[in-house]
Structure 1
Amino acid sequence: MKCPFCGHGDTQVVETRESDDGAFVRRRRRCGGCERRFTTYERPEVTFPQVVKKDGRRVDYDPAKLRASIALALRKRPIATAQIDAAIARIEEKLLAEPTREVPSQRLGEWVMEELHQLDQVAYVRFASVYRSFEDVDAFRTLIDEVRR
């Protein structure tokens, strides 16, 4: 690790501490050249696969977009934030477990629908109606009958 003050390439770790939640490691270092101390943080790097849209475009996975979609479906529904976070974590685990570096947006949408089906039936119907692009009342009726079963 290069010293941020003098650029010397030889630094020594003086102290190492893990964060309270275990999300990162904090290291105090001392430069072998100028003797100044500085702190570095070590975090795991997670690379999500790209999402392949219906039109063939490839976009980076955006956790904010996933959270916004789920939040919109759950708007004004009595679901705790912790339950939403857990659902998002399960979806992201599935993304990370994918053997390929690309995931079709349809598969991601199906995972969201599975989670919403477990969380709240109204949110599930809301999301499904947009996701599946219902064009008539009969499609709605079929989905609602499916939820009731």
Structure 2
Amino acid sequence: MRCPNCGSLDTQVKDSRPTEDSNAIRRRRVCLTCQFRFTTFERVQLRELVVIKRNGRRVPFDRDKLMRSLQIALRKRNVDPERLEQMVSKIVRELEGLGESDISTDTIGEVVMAHLRELDDVAYVRFASVYRNFRERKDFEDAIAELASEEDGKAAPPQRK
């Protein structure tokens, strides 16, 4: 493992333990060159996922990009970082479990929104506003009405743009 401080490949694992959800191994490492300490996470990867963008481009799936977009949606929301990490792991496992290596951005967006809907309504609307490309106030009102109807037990089908 390359040291993020000096770039040396001469690092040593000092401690290993599973994460709370046991879906990853947390390793504390030390660089033997500069003595910098850092943490890495090791996860099981069932298959290499490729994201098919709306314009047809194909790019490798990036778990960190998913995490960043969810952190933006959850900014200033009272959600435990460990819950976010667990949700990202569930989303990735669900995508890997679809049985396909090629996943469309639409599929990813719908899976993410389903998980966000359960976690935090405000984050759900924030994410939906970008994913569904909201253009006017009515788009927000429709998303909020969709959430309200689900809470009332009248699950409305998602509105697609």
Q: Which residue of 2 aligns with 1:123?
A: 123
**How far does residue 98 in structure 1 lie from its aligned partner after superposition?**
2.1
**Identical aligned pairs, as a percentage?**
37
Counterparts of 1:45 and 1:98, CA distance in 2: 14
Cα deviation, 1:39-60, whole Å, max 9, x if unaligned, reads xxxx855433101000001000
Other-structure match for 2:109: 109
Q: Deviations over 1:123-143 (max 9, x none)?
A: 000010111011111111111
TM-score, normalization: structure 1?
A: 0.69
Q: 1:48 touches 1:95 (CA, 8 Å); kept in 2?
A: no
CA distance, structure 1, for counterparts of residue 99 and residue 111 of structure 2:
16
Match of 1:137 in 2: 137
1:49-64 equivalence runs, <5 A: 49-64=49-64
Structure scoring higher RCO (CA < 8 A, sep ≥ 6) equals: 1
What is the rounded CA distance, in whole Å, between the counterparts of 1:47 and 1:64 in structure 2?
Answer: 16
What are the within-5 Å matches in structure 2 for residues 1-149 of structure 1?
A: 20-21=17-18, 46-149=46-149
- Give 1 or 2 for the bigger CA radius of gyration: 1
Amino acid of the structure 2 residue aligned with 1:71: Q
Q: Distance in 1 between matches of 2:119 and 2:94?
A: 18
Query: What is the CA distance between 1:96 and its match in structure 2?
Result: 1.4
Contact 2:50/2:103 (8 A) holds in 1: yes
Q: Structure 2: how far apart are the matches of 1:140 and 1:90?
A: 27
Measure, in 1, the Cα distance between the counterparts of 2:116 and 2:78: 13
**Aligned residue pairs, count:** 113
For 1:129 and 1:20, how far apart are their aligned partners in 2? Answer: 38
Which sections of structure 1, spanning at least 5 residues, go unmatched? 1-18, 25-42
CA–CA separation in structure 2 for the residues paired with 1:148 and 1:44: 37
Question: Offset of 1:20 from its aligned partner?
Answer: 4.0
Contact 2:47/2:101, CA 8 A, preserved across alignment: no
| Greater Cα shift, 44-53 or 130-139 | 44-53
- SS of 2:107 mapped into structure 1: helix
2:103 partner amino acid: V
